[in-house]
Amino acid sequence: FRITLMMLSSRLEQLNTATAQAVQQVEALAQRLELRRRALAEGLLEATALNDAQAGVYRMDVGGSMFHTRTELLHQCGGMLSAMASHDFDNDVAAGGAVFLDRDPTWFPLVLDFL
C-alpha cells in the first residue's frame, strides 16, 4: 500500500510540475497575444487616420503623369476642375483611382500653382 501511495505521490508531483509549466506557457502566449492585439489596434488607428487624410485628395492622370491635390484647392476658384472634384459629373476613374485628363502634363503644375 505504501508503494502505491509513494507512486501516486510521485505521479502527482509530476502532474503538478507539468501543470505549472503549461500554465506558464499559456500565460506567455496570452501576453504575446495582447501585444499583438495592441499593435493591431495601433495599426488600425494609423490606417484610419491615413484614409481620412487621403479622403480629401483628388488624383488626376494628366496625359500620363500623375497629379495629386486637395479637393479644397480645386474648389477655391471654381471652374471645370472644381466641378470634376465635386462628383457632380460621372468621371471615368482609372484603376489607380485617378481621373484621366487628356491634356499636356507639361504645364499642368502651373495650373495647380495658379489655384
**pLDDT per residue as tens digits for the range 38-84:** 999 999 988 888 777 767 888 889 998 999 888 888 888 788 888 88
Examine the domain organization and report whether 80 and 32 are in the same domain.
no
Convert the pLDDT of each residue in 10-27 to its tens digit: 999 999 999 999 999 999
Examine the domain organization and report whether 67 and 20 are in the same domain.
no
Residue 95 pLDDT: 59
Average pLDDT over residues 88-98: 71
Q: Dihedral sign for Cα 62, 87, 80, 73, please.
A: negative
Predicted TM-score (pTM) above 0.75: no
Tally of domains within the chain: 2
C-alpha cell at 66: 500623375
Domain extent for 100: 56-114
Residue 50 pLDDT: 78
By C-alpha distance, which of 56, 51, 58 is closest to 98? Answer: 58
Between CA 27 and CA 115 the distance in angstroms is 59
C-alpha cell at 89: 459629373
pLDDT tops 70 at residue 94: no
